[in-house]
Chains A and B, each alone.
Chain A
Amino acid sequence: MTKLLEMKNLNVRFKGKRTVHAINDVSLSMDQGETLALLGESGSGKSVTLKTLLGLLPPKRSQIDGSIHVNGVDIMSLRGRALQRYRGGEVSMVFQEPALALDPVYTIGHQIAESVMRHKGVDKANAMSTALDMLDRVRIPSANRRLHNYPHELSGGMRQRVMIALALACRPRLLLADEPTTALDATVQIQILLLLRELQKEFGMGVIFVTHDIGVAVEISERVAVMYAGQIIEEGTTHEIIRDARHPYTQGLLAANLHDVARGERLSAIPGAPPALEARPDSCPFAPRCPVAMPECRADLPPMLAPGDRRRVACLRAAQPIAAE
Chain B
Amino acid sequence: MLSYLIRRILLVLPVAFGVSVICFLLVQIAPGDPLTAIMAIDATAEEQAAMRAAYGLDKPLPIQYAIWIGNLVQGDMGKSIATGRPVAAEVFGAVKNSLLLAVSAAVIAFPIGIFLGFLAGYFRDTWIDRAVTALSITGVSVPNYWLGIVLVIIFSVNLSWLPSMGAGPGGSQSWAWDWAHIRHLVLPAVTLAVVPIGIVSRTVRALAGDILSQDFVDALYAKGMSRADVLRHVARNAAATALSVMGLQLGYLLGGSILIETVFNWPGSGFLLSNAIFQRDLPLLQGTILILALFFVAMNLIVDVVQAAIDPRIQRT
Q: Which residues of A contact B (CB under 8 A)?
A: 51, 54, 56, 84-89, 92-93, 95, 97, 100-107, 114-115, 118-119, 150, 152, 166-167, 170
Contacts and interface: CB of A to CB of B under 8 A. Distances in A.
* 3 A-B pairs with the lowest CB-CB distances in the bound complex, closest first: A88-B224, A88-B223, A100-B215
Contact of B311 (A97, A103, A105): A105
A62 to B, nearest CB: 14
Contacts of A97: 215
Interface of B: 214-216, 218-226, 229, 233, 236-237, 240, 310-313
Given A106-B236, A114-B229, A166 B223 contact: yes
Given A103-B233, A104-B313, A105-B236, A87 B221 contact: yes
Contacts of B215: 95, 97, 100-101
Given A95-B215, A114-B229, A105 B222 contact: no
Contact of A103 (B220, B221, B226, B310): B220
9 contacts: A88-B223, A92-B222, A103-B216, A103-B236, A105-B310, A107-B312, A118-B224, A150-B312, A152-B313
A103 B215 CA distance: 9
B222 A93 contact: yes
Contacts of B219: 93, 95, 101-103
B230 to A, nearest CB: 10
A56 B224 contact: no
B222 A88 contact: yes
Given A87-B221, A170-B224, 13 more contacts: A51-B218, A87-B222, A87-B223, A88-B224, A92-B223, A101-B218, A104-B216, A105-B237, A106-B236, A115-B225, A118-B223, A150-B312, A167-B223
Nearest to A90: B224
Contacts of B221: 54, 56, 87
A297 B264 CA distance: 80
**Which among A85, A87, A89 has the greatest number of chain B C-beta atoms within 10 A?**
A87
A84 B214 contact: no
B225 to A, nearest CB: 7
B314 to A, nearest CB: 10
A106 B237 CA distance: 9
Given A95-B215, A150-B313, A103 B222 contact: no
A36 B220 CA distance: 24
Contacts of A170: 224
A103 B211 CA distance: 10
A170 B225 CA distance: 13
A245 to B, nearest CB: 33
Given A84-B226, A95-B219, A103 B237 contact: yes
A89 B225 CA distance: 11
Given A56-B218, A97-B215, A105 B313 contact: yes
**Which among B216, B218, B219, B313 has the greatest number of chain A C-beta atoms within 10 A?**
B219
A272 to B, nearest CB: 30
**Which among B216, B221, B236 has the greatest number of chain A C-beta atoms within 10 A?**
B216
Contact of A115 (B214, B216, B224, B237): B224
Contacts of B218: 51, 56, 95, 101
Contacts of A106: 233, 236
Contacts of A51: 218
A136 B268 CA distance: 62
Contacts of A88: 222-225
B313 A85 contact: no
Contacts of A119: 224
Nearest to B310: A105
A106 B310 CA distance: 10
A100 B223 contact: no
A166 B236 CA distance: 20
Nearest to B222: A93
A294 to B, nearest CB: 42
A104 B237 contact: yes
A103 B312 CA distance: 11
B223 A101 contact: no
B243 to A, nearest CB: 13
Nearest to B312: A150
Contacts of A56: 218, 221-222
Contacts of A54: 221-222
A101 B225 CA distance: 14
A305 B221 CA distance: 38
Nearest to A119: B224
Nearest to A83: B224
A258 to B, nearest CB: 30
B235 to A, nearest CB: 10
Contacts of A115: 223-225
Contacts of B311: 105
B209 to A, nearest CB: 14
B216 A114 contact: no
A93 B215 CA distance: 12
B224 A84 contact: yes
Nearest to B233: A103
Nearest to B236: A105
A117 B182 CA distance: 47
Nearest to B126: A60
Nearest to B220: A103
Contact of A89 (B224, B233, B237, B240): B224
Contacts of A85: 224
B313 A87 contact: no
B222 A114 contact: no
A54 B217 CA distance: 13
B33 to A, nearest CB: 57
A164 B236 CA distance: 24
A115 B225 CA distance: 7
A115 to B, nearest CB: 4
**Which among B224, B237, B310 has the greatest number of chain A C-beta atoms within 10 A?**
B224
